[in-house]
């Protein structure tokens, strides 16, 4: 990820759940995180992403009448892959995976492979891409979806350009407005009732992802802001709208240099 001054300070307000809602038994939110704590150029910002996500999804679980079970993995390719392979959950659970760290793409993939590879290594160690890579779609999303949870949300906050790139090329993949059927839910039902699978990354192919050591990354902060708005509103909200607003906001904040991408399957 690339460092960049943050445009606005986000004030996160704790969400108040209605009395008795947390006593319901709506399953478990499993929060799986892999956070870069080894690369000093971004590790502080990644830690802020972790803190924000833990607070956000803890409050979301409370509102949804669910329990939160966090797993913070070592920043290591083998552990991430092994944990995901061995992970088990129940059919009414929600599985959330968040990666925050460096990422990359391969030139030879062209535009046929839009999702980033996660780089679970110290970039100064001189290790090859193959020994560090975790494929966000094949190694994480596809494997977790097959665990059979009611909802799977996979979030990759990383760059999506070659490791040798010194400047992202945002103009190669222009922003396109996504079109989805909008399924609306009230407050905690965004987690307690939604059934489907979401894959999202901080930027599109050949783009960088911007972060700040004080607030965290644009992608995670903006996504959290719109999730909070959906959880606090008395009007029905939807995941399609939350992700579309996140996409547009990050695009505007970076003047098109970073455009998050997402996919929803029911």
Q: Does some domain include residue 147?
A: yes
Whether the per-residue pLDDT at 85 is higher than 50: the answer is yes
DSSP string of 113-147, one letter each residue: --SPEEE-S-GGG---HHHHEEEIIIIIIHHHHTT
Query: Residue 152's domain is classified under what CATH number?
Result: 3.40.50.1460
Q: What is the average pLDDT score of the chain? A: 86
Q: What is the pLDDT of residue 180?
A: 42
Q: Does some domain include residue 14?
A: no
Whether the per-residue pLDDT at 18 is higher than 90: the answer is no
Q: Does some domain include residue 64?
A: yes
Q: Could you tell me the pLDDT band of residue 171, with boundaries at 50, 70 and 90?
A: very low
Number of domains in the chain: 1
Mean pLDDT of 46-52: 97
Those residues with Cβ within 8 angstroms of residue 129's Cβ, 6 or more apart along the chain or in another chain: 104, 106, 117, 119, 163
Those residues with Cβ within 8 angstroms of residue 62's Cβ, 6 or more apart along the chain or in another chain: 15, 17, 21, 22
Whether the per-residue pLDDT at 176 is higher than 70: the answer is no
Residue 215: what are its φ and ψ, rounded to 5°? -105, -25
Q: Does some domain include residue 9?
A: no
Whether the per-residue pLDDT at 11 is higher than 50: the answer is no
Q: Does some domain include residue 207?
A: yes
Whether the per-residue pLDDT at 20 is higher than 50: the answer is no
Q: Does some domain include residue 87?
A: yes
Q: Does some domain include residue 83?
A: yes
List pLDDT tens digits, range 192-228. 999 999 999 999 999 999 998 888 999 999 999 999 9
Domain that holds residue 198: 21-265
Q: Does some domain include residue 81?
A: yes
Q: Could you tell me the pLDDT band of residue 24, with boundaries at 50, 70 and 90?
A: low
């Amino acid at each position: 990820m690339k460092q960049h001054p943050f445009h606005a300070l986000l004030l996160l307000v704790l969400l108040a759940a209605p009395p008795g809602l947390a006593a319901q038994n709506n399953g478990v939110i499993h929060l799986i995180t892999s956070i870069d704590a080894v690369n000093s150029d971004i590790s502080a910002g990644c830690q802020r992403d972790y803190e924000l996500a833990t607070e956000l999804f803890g409050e979301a679980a409370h509102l949804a009448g669910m329990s939160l079970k966090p797993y913070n993995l070592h920043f290591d390719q083998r552990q991430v892959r092994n944990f995901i392979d061995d992970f088990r959950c129940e059919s009414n659970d929600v599985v959330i995976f968040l990666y925050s760290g460096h990422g990359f793409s391969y030139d030879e993939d062209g535009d046929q492979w839009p999702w980033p590879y996660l780089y679970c290594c110290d970039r100064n160690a001189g290790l090859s891409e193959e020994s560090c890579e975790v494929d966000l779609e094949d190694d994480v999303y596809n494997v977790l979806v097959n665990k059979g949870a009611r909802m799977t949300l996979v979030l990759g906050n990383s760059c999506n350009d070659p490791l040798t790139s010194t400047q992202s090329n945002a103009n190669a993949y222009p922003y396109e407005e996504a079109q989805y059927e909008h399924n609306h839910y009230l407050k905690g039902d965004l987690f307690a009732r939604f059934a489907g699978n979401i894959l999202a990354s901080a930027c599109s192919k050949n783009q960088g992802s911007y972060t700040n050591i004080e607030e965290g990354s644009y992608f995670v902060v903006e996504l959290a802001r719109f999730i909070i708005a959906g959880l606090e509103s008395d009007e029905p909200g939807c995941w399609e709208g939350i992700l579309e607003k996140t996409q547009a906001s990050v695009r505007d904040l970076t003047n098109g240099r970073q455009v998050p991408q997402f996919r929803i399957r029911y």
